[in-house]
A and B are shown apart, each in its own frame.
Chain A
């Protein structure tokens, strides 16, 4: 038996590899058609010339990238200066997405920890409850959020009726409203990976830390957090990345002055006023930034894993 298996080894593994490749075809196909092709299309469009009523002229041009980074005056004949408008929008998007991610982490971590420490048979119920809002369309959820937060909305009414404030706090059309909206949109993406990590966590480690004179705070910082780090990082990525490109929450809750990159891109493709190559270029810049951030994370993960052996 053993000798036969070794003798036929190379042939068997060839067919194995072949079968595997065939079975992986649907996955490759989905990846190619649904992920890579649109990105590739976007890349091409970003280097084309804009048609004034939307759409493109098939002529190579760097105008879109130039417009993003440089200001050449109203008629395009002045010496180029750095264009801060879009960089500012980018920077604001990063800041908003970062704040929303931090908010999600601060609320999501205890939530995930709580769920993971319930008895095994009630955990799925909690996970289910966390995902229930996702059955409702994101647009409707965001509009509802606006309704809740507005000056005459239930939140302000409640705060006034219990005497905490005298006049309504203006929340809608502030940065904070956008952060709240993003936080609410993507919270489960923070909770679920952390929950999965905490559920795998060996709680005897926390006991061991307490046994060795570490109080709860030190135990959290030195033992629990390092052990569930992968879940925390996954959660942060899953909240940060879509927040960065999101346009619903900024549009509806942030008002016109708090434009974010997602809204900027959206506008370029909407109606007849848009600039497709510019929208495509902004998308490519956003994509590049996200990729850089992910690569930094991935490299750190790999380094940590290597150190752990």
Chain B
């Protein structure tokens, strides 16, 4: 085992079936040591099932799971050196905060005094020392969340599993906890596996993201790659906002495809692997990669008319209708509004993008 870039969790061809229902269809993925890894997908995609299989709460129908090279799929949860932060926190209601945090340490054979001492240190890290003698019900949701985190980290697990731990918090607290978690992960050097359905949360926190849907892995990669180079329609649609249009491929030149949008509009798109000339495929372009102008520019320009402007705080979203063609959503940042002209509904404008901003997708 090399110290750097060793594999923390290796999932090999894992299948999970409940009767005739298949929750996971042959998933294989490797999670690196010291990585903030996120399983992202809509509810029912199998992400929590996979996490629970790693924790040991669900058995593996087929396939293997390795923890630093050791096969763990058949071990009961209490023999796996991984700990979980539960969505409902699952704090023991009859124990004090200190007893909660010390529980895992005590179970690992630490003396009561040692467990208490270490639990006290963990509570200091999450800034809850003054609550150590309280019961969980006397704490707010955010505080309970931090206790759950301290409790799971106290036995120094090799991997920390987090099952949508922030979903019950309000937006502001959630944002603060996202940063705190990221920070904690860097400080402890423990591998985090984070499950969420919130794509923004995943993008904010993760080193790498596995996007899942219907029990299958859709794409695995760095947060930025997944956002900028979605591999298929599901990923493009699920991660961030996008303009998703059906186009027909006219010709392929120099690794780029010239496509028809309908209504005589033409656009050059990137990513032509597995794309046949003459076929109908989907194309994705992010709204923030588009800009509006009065006159056509040297970039890719499409003529249209402004339908509506929607103010969304940091941005203005403009919907543009191409003549006889599809609609485009354009996002204009409010940061330098002095330089930008806001076009009113009805204005004749051009939608522009750099070459390569539009990407073709396999279905």
Q: Once the chains bind, are B103 and A214 in contact (CB under 8 Å)?
A: yes
- Determine whether B141 belongs to the interface, using a CB cutoff of 8 Å to chain A: no
Whether, in the assembled complex, B260 has its beta carbon less than 8 Å from a beta carbon of chain A, the answer is no
The answer to whether A227 and B93 have CB atoms under 8 Å apart is yes
Q: Which of B55, B94, B134, B137 has the most CB of A within 10 A?
A: B94
Q: Hey, which chain A residues are within 8 Å of B104, CB to CB?
A: 211-213
Do residues B103 and A209 form an inter-chain contact, with CB atoms below 8 A? yes
Asked if A308 meets B135 with Cβ closer than 8 Å, knowing A212-B151, A214-B103, A214-B107, the reply is: yes
> Are A227 and B94 in contact, CB atoms less than 8 angstroms apart?
yes
For residue B92, which residues in chain A have a CB less than 8 angstroms away from its CB? 205, 208-209, 223
Q: Does B78 contact A (CB under 8 A)?
A: yes
Q: List CB contacts (< 8 Å) of B142-172 with chain A.
A: 151-152, 155
The CA of A309 and the CA of B138, in the complex, are separated in Å by 7
> Is there contact, CB below 8 Å, between B88 and A202?
yes
Chain B residue at smallest Cβ distance from A212: B104
What B residues does A41 contact at CB under 8 A? none
Q: Which of chain A's residues have a CB closer than 8 A to the CB of B91?
A: 208
Q: Closest A residue to B82 by CB, please name it.
A: A211
Indicate whether A292 reaches chain B with its CB closer than 8 angstroms. no
Q: Which of B40-97 contact A (CB under 8 A)?
A: 55-57, 76-79, 82-84, 86, 88, 90-94
A214 CB → nearest B CB, Å: 5
Minimum CB distance partner of A229 in chain B: B94
What is the CA–CA distance of A308 and B92 in the complex, to the nearest angstrom? Answer: 11
Q: Is the CB of A308 within 8 A of B137?
A: yes
B116 nearest CB across to chain A (Å)? 15
Query: In the complex, which residues of chain A have a beta carbon less than 8 angstroms from the beta carbon of B86?
Result: 204, 207-208
Complex contacts, A205 vs chain B, CB 8 Å: 90, 92-93
Q: Mark B182-194, 1 if CB is under 8 A from A, else 0.
A: 0000000000000
Evaluate contact between A213 and B107: CB separation under 8 angstroms. yes
Are A210's CB and B135's CB within 8 A? no
Q: For residue A214, which residues in chain B have a CB less than 8 angstroms away from its CB? A: 78, 103, 107
Q: Which of A202, A212, A308 contacts B94 (CB 8 A)?
A: A308
**A165, CB-defined interface residue at 8 Å:** no
Mask: chain A, 211-235; 1 = CB below 8 Å from B; 0 = not: 1111100100001001100000000
8 Å CB contact of B83 from A211, A227, A308: A211
Q: For chain A, which range describes its interface: under 10, 10 to 19, 20 to 34, or 35 or more residues?
A: 10 to 19
Residues on the A chain within 8 Å of B137, using CB: 308-309
Q: Which residue of B lies closest to A308 (CB)?
A: B135
B289: chain A residues at CB < 8 Å are none
B residues less than 8 Å from A208 (CB atoms): 84, 86, 90-92
A207-B138 in contact (CB<8A)? no
List chain A residues, Cβ under 8 A from B151: 212
Q: Which of A213, A218, A223 has its CB near the most chain B CB atoms (within 10 A)? A: A213
Residues A210 and B103 in contact in the complex (CB < 8 Å), given A223-B92, A309-B135: no
Beta-carbon nearest neighbor of B137 in chain A:
A309
Q: How far is the CA of A218 from the CA of B77 in the complex (A)?
A: 14
| Other-chain contact of A210, B78, B94, B152, B155 (Cβ < 8 Å) | B78
Bound: A209/B92 CA distance, A = 9
Q: Tell whether, in the assembled complex, residue A213 and residue B108 are in contact, meaning their CB atoms are under 8 Å apart.
A: yes
B88, A204: Cβ atoms closer than 8 Å: yes
Q: How far is the CB of A225 from chain B (nearest CB, A)?
A: 10
Closest-by-CB residue of A relative to B138 is: A309
CB atoms of A207 and B77 under 8 A apart:
yes
Chain B residues with CB below 8 A from A212, complex form: 78, 83, 103-104, 107, 151-152, 155
| Cα A205 to Cα B136 with chains together (Å) | 13
| A219 (CB) vs chain B CBs: closest residue | B78
Cα–Cα distance between A218 and B107 once the two chains are bound (Å)? 9
Point out the residues of chain B lying under 8 angstroms from A213, CB to CB.
78-79, 104, 107-108, 155
Residues of A contacting B103 in the complex (Cβ-Cβ under 8 angstroms): 209, 212, 214
A206 to B227, CA, bound (A): 38
Chain B residue with the shortest CB-CB distance to A226: B94
Is B78 within 8 A of A308, CB to CB? Answer: no
Nearest CB of chain A from residue B286's CB, rounded to whole Å: 39
A179 to chain B, nearest CB (A): 32
CA distance A208 to B107 in the complex (A): 12
Given known contacts A212-B104, A213-B78, A309-B134, A207 and B94 CB-to-CB distance under 8 angstroms: no
Report the bound CA distance from A309 to B131 in whole Å.
13
Task: Give the distance in Å from the alpha carbon of A212 to the alpha carbon of B115 in the complex.
Answer: 13
B93 near A308 (CB under 8 angstroms)?
Answer: yes
Q: How far is B316's CA from A96's CA once the two chains are assembled, in angstroms? A: 80
CB B97 to nearest CB in A, in angstroms, measures 12
Find out whether the CB atom of A211 lies under 8 angstroms from the CB atom of B138. Answer: no
Residues of B within 8 A of A207 (CB): 55, 57, 77, 84, 86, 90
Query: Can you name the residue of chain B whose Cβ is closest to the Cβ of A307?
Result: B135
* A residues near B76, Cβ cutoff 8 Å: 210, 215
Expressed in whole angstroms, the Cα–Cα distance for A211 and B83 within the complex equals 6
Choose one: B57, B90, B134; the contact of A202 (CB below 8 Å): B90
Q: How far is the CA of A307 from the CA of B135 in the complex (A)?
A: 8
Query: Taking the nearest CB of chain B, how far is it from the CB of A121, in angstroms?
Result: 16
- A-B CB contact pairs (8 Å), 16 listed: A202-B88, A207-B57, A209-B92, A210-B76, A212-B151, A212-B155, A213-B79, A213-B108, A213-B155, A214-B103, A223-B92, A227-B93, A227-B94, A308-B135, A309-B134, A309-B137
5 closest A-B pairs by CB: A212-B104, A213-B107, A204-B90, A208-B90, A210-B77
Given known contacts A208-B92, A213-B78, A226-B94, what 16 new A-B pairs fall within 8 Å (CB)? A204-B90, A207-B55, A208-B86, A208-B90, A209-B103, A210-B57, A210-B77, A212-B103, A213-B107, A213-B108, A213-B155, A214-B107, A223-B92, A227-B94, A308-B94, A309-B137
